[in-house]
Amino acid sequence: MKNFFRKMSGKNADLEEVYEDDDVEMESENDGWMDDSEEGQLSIDVYQTQKDIVIKSTIAGVKPADIDIAINNDMLTIRGKREMANTVKNEDYLFRECYWGAFSRSIILPVEIQAEKIDASLENGVLTVVLPKAKPAKEISIKVKG
């Protein structure tokens, strides 16, 4: 199987010695790839309109009840868990690119938002979180008496 992946990756015999040590290291690192104690990092897009900060993420296969969104000061955290419906033995996989298990992502918000008006929806596997921007506080000038 190792030779198959060498051919697919374009490695040739001349480079065999260069990659030999790396392969041993990679194999040992990937033995317990994404243990249960680790969380995957959620990929997100964040953009703004005049009135809102909008966060979008593809979260296919996750039920709305399995998603937790929390805000603490200026940090928003999205957590969840993607459950695999059936179990497959590791040796039966030909490719394994999908992540199953716990995931999270925290971002620092660039502006103040109205926390009580946050709206989150999950449609067709896309999570959308809309955070209305707070109106900026007016600057007050204070004169110093001397």
> What are the structural domains, with CATH classification, of the chain?
1-31 (no CATH), 36-132 (2.60.40.790)
Q: Are 76 and 42 in contact (CB under 8 A)?
A: no
Rounded Cα distance, 25 and 66, in Å: 35
- Give the model's pLDDT for residue 38: 75
Interacting residues of 48 by C-beta distance below 8 A, sequence separation 6+? 54, 110, 111, 133
Q: Are 45 and 55 in contact (CB under 8 A)?
A: yes
Ramachandran region, residue 73 (left: φ > 0; alpha: ψ -120 to 50; beta: rest): left
Q: Average pLDDT of each block of 10 consecutive residues along the chain (146 residues)?
A: 46 47 44 57 93 94 92 93 84 86 93 94 95 85 87
pTM over cut 0.75: no
User: Residue 132: which H helix or E strand, with range?
Assistant: strand 126-132
- Give the model's pLDDT for residue 37: 58
